[in-house]
Amino acid sequence: MEAQGLGIPFKVLHGSSSMREIRTIYRSCSLYVVAHCEPIGLPICEVQACGGIILTPYARWCHAHDLETPEPGCNGRWPQNFIVYNNDRQQLVSELNRLKRDYNTETALENVKLDQANFHRGNATELAHFVAMVEDATIH
């Protein structure tokens, strides 16, 4: 793993953990590397709410977070807390070195509040729409 070669401590999450354990991990880490497609990305929202930065090799893996075109394969505008490194090792190493030097939790939290206020605070209209769709069995 690139982080190991750069002297950046890391933890690989696998298996299951309690929500308390997961939140403790998220709050103790600055970066979260997406290892597979996250269609909705609730873990991504939680990482950002804890002040973390998201690294993903492919934009389509986190398409729900694209601020302009939330579709698979999108090329829109990304939140400041997202780094899409296009599966390019040199770009990943460069971003890891930059973050190692410049990362700031307070800045990361402010960025999520600015870029993704609905993910940070919620959106009552969208929640009501979702509940209505569940109630009328549009979704299960």
Residue 72 in this model has a pLDDT that exceeds 70: no
Q: What is the mean pLDDT of residues 71-88?
A: 78
Return the pLDDT at 121. 65
Whether pLDDT at 118 is above 80: no
Token pair for 36: 């597979």
Mean pLDDT of 117-135: 73
Is the residue at 82 inside a domain? yes
- Is the model more confident about 81 or about 14? 81
Mean per-residue pLDDT for 35-53?
Answer: 80
Establish if 11 belongs to a structural domain: yes
Q: Structurally, how many domains does the chain consist of?
A: 1
Would you say residue 33 lies in a domain? yes
Does residue 64 belong to any structural domain of this protein? Answer: yes
pLDDT for residue 71 is more than 60: no
Domain-located, residue 140: no
pLDDT for the residue 57: 92
Domain span at 108: 2-135
User: What pLDDT is attached to residue 119?
Assistant: 65
* Residue 74 domain-assigned (yes or no): yes
